[in-house]
Structure 1
């Protein structure tokens, strides 16, 4: 009984999608650190021009909204980094790959239809008569 349980556990660990999922989580976490660092760098650049973009002490009518504003600005910058540094180049690359891929082969019915149309044209008949 224990041997069967260990065999099932071994199969679970060696299943392909589990390994792929683990790699995706690790890569996602690492990529998240890169995006966070880049966003922090952008915040520093913004800080050079207009002061440190930290709104933690900002309040409106006695309600502290600073932490929300800082988080919102960080979110918008992170979204911009992901869109312009990842999504846009990926879409352009995907479009280039699609252009390089060979077109799907025509089906037998399509080829027979083309042959029929060519035979009609050679016989001097219109495309709708045979």
Structure 2
């Protein structure tokens, strides 16, 4: 029973998921600071309000309909998505491309210096007749 659990936990996907969750949790304060302390304050300076929560509010009867909360949530989501993309996804993609291109390249041809040194070595080793010098 414990062997099966150990195999499940040690699978790559579970470990990757755990690392992703931990990184996401650690990244949250950064995004919160960016959103709350910088971007929403810029919105407040431009529009006079710290969020879009009150934008477009109307009433049906006595019930308020507040689409501004949706706008605020969408803006926050786009900020988080952009930050994750530019800080994590894009660098990881670049790293993967570098690794992939490094593995896919065939062995480079030796430089002229290496070829010349190889010829000199061969000339010193062989006497020109295919026999090794003694």
Structure 1-normalised TM-score? 0.52
Q: How many residues align?
A: 100
Kindly tell me: are residues 20 and 61 of structure 1, through their superposed partners in 2, closer, same or farther at Cα, counting changes over 3 Å?
Answer: closer
Q: Does 1:72 align with 2:74?
A: yes
SS of the residue aligned with 2:72? helix
Alignment RMSD: 3.4
Contact 2:51 2:72 in 1 (8 A): yes
CA distance in 1, matches of 2:11, 2:18: 10
Greater RCO (Cα-Cα under 8 Å, separation 6 or more):
1
Q: 1:64 Cα deviation (Å)?
A: 1.9
Contact 2:43 2:51 in 1 (8 A): no
In structure 2, list runs of 5 or more residues that go unmatched: 60-64, 109-134
Q: Does 1:27 align with 2:26?
A: no
Contact 1:53 1:70 in 2 (8 A): no
Structure 2-normalised TM-score? 0.51
CA distance in 1, matches of 2:45, 2:36: 13
Alignment-derived partner of residue 126 in structure 1 = none
In structure 1, list runs of 5 or more residues that go unmatched: 107-130
Contact 1:58 1:64 in 2 (8 A): yes
Q: Does 1:46 align with 2:66?
A: no
Contact 1:58 1:65 in 2 (8 A): yes
Alignment-derived partner of residue 101 in structure 1 = 102
Which consecutive aligned stretches of 4+ in structure 1 deviate over 6 angstroms post-superposition? none
Map 1:113-128 to 2 at 5 A.
none
CA distance in 1, matches of 2:30, 2:86: 14
Alignment-derived partner of residue 9 in structure 1 = 5
Q: Which has the larger radius of gyration?
A: 2
CA distance in 2, matches of 1:60, 1:104: 63
Alignment-derived partner of residue 52 in structure 2 = 55
Q: 1:94 Cα deviation (Å)?
A: 5.1
